[in-house]
A = this chain, B = another copy of it.
Amino acid sequence: MFAKQEQLQAAAVKVELGLLGLDLDMIQHPITNVKSHSKNKRRFSDEQIRSLEVMFESDSRPESVIKQQLANELGLQPRQIAIWFQNRRARTKAKQIERDYNVLKESYDALSSTCESLKRENQSLRNQLQKLKSQLEMEHGNQPYGSNRADVNIGAMFDTNEKAALLFEGNDCLLSCDDNNRNVERRDEERVVLNMIEGTDGSLTSSEKWCSFESDCFLDESSCSSNWWEYW
């Protein structure tokens, strides 16, 4: 069943054996690992894996002495123990990247919601301001002609930090910027089949949960970084 290639390449293999000696692949298992499937040259037994995992749990980078002891207990070469821990650390790290990604994405989604809320609140505040201004102007318009109170300048009531928002009355947006969303949506397409960890059903990468802004983001990166509103 799985001996086809061996037969095809038997001659070449023998040449190699004579030239270079034997692979390290086949050192361990013949005696210690016959119990299960007889094949399975590589692959440590479940027992061995369990012990290794338990040890890894308590110390992912054990001393040589510990590794030697493990080798004796499990019937493996110290070299194999060392390699197992190296590979195990590498696997852990690779998984960690995905975990990091998911955590960051959750943060992003939460922040996205916050941002959306802020934008709506902003719009609401602008509407209120607009109405208050209309109210004020209307009342001033009702004053007698030539009244001293006609020279009240609404803009003058605010310090420089507060004038910027007035720009937004009426029109939705001065600067158009949806760079954030473009980035994110592009990414979403790319990793459709990314292997998620620990029972994730893939909903985290579905486009519905991504930032669902409309395209009315009012700042782009350059203006964001320079506190534009302080220049008024």
Instruction: Report which A residues bind B (CB closer than 8 A).
Output: 2-3, 5-6, 8-10, 12-13, 15-17, 19-31, 39, 41, 77, 79, 93-94, 96-101, 103-108, 110-122, 124-129, 131-133, 135-136, 139, 149, 152, 154, 157-158, 161-162, 164-166, 168, 177, 179-181, 183-184, 186-187, 190-191, 194-195, 211, 217-219, 221, 224-225, 227, 229
A22 with B30: in contact, given A118-B119, A121-B164 (CB under 8 Å)?
Answer: no
* Complex CA distance for A224 and B191, rounded to whole angstroms: 27
Residue of B with least CB distance to A111: B180
| CA of A103 to CA of B194, assembled, Å | 15
User: B112 to A111, Cβ gap below 8 A?
Assistant: yes
Which 5 A-B residue pairings sit nearest by Cβ, starting from the closest? A125-B125, A113-B224, A118-B118, A6-B21, A16-B26
Min CB gap A58→B, angstroms: 19
Q: Is the interface of A mostly helix, strand, loop or mixed?
A: helix
Chain B, residue nearest A106 (CB)? B183
Assess the A122–B120 pair: CB atoms within 8 A: no
Q: Are A5 and B77 in contact (CB under 8 A)?
A: yes
Looking at the assembled complex, report how far the CB atom of A64 sits from the nearest CB atom of chain B, in whole angstroms.
Answer: 15
Residues of chain B contacted by A165 (CB below 8 angstroms): 121, 124-125, 128
Q: Which of B13, B27, B124 contacts A229, CB < 8 Å?
A: B124
Extra contacts besides A131-B157, A135-B157 (11): CB < 8 Å = A9-B24, A16-B30, A93-B194, A96-B190, A107-B187, A110-B179, A110-B180, A111-B111, A113-B225, A118-B122, A128-B166
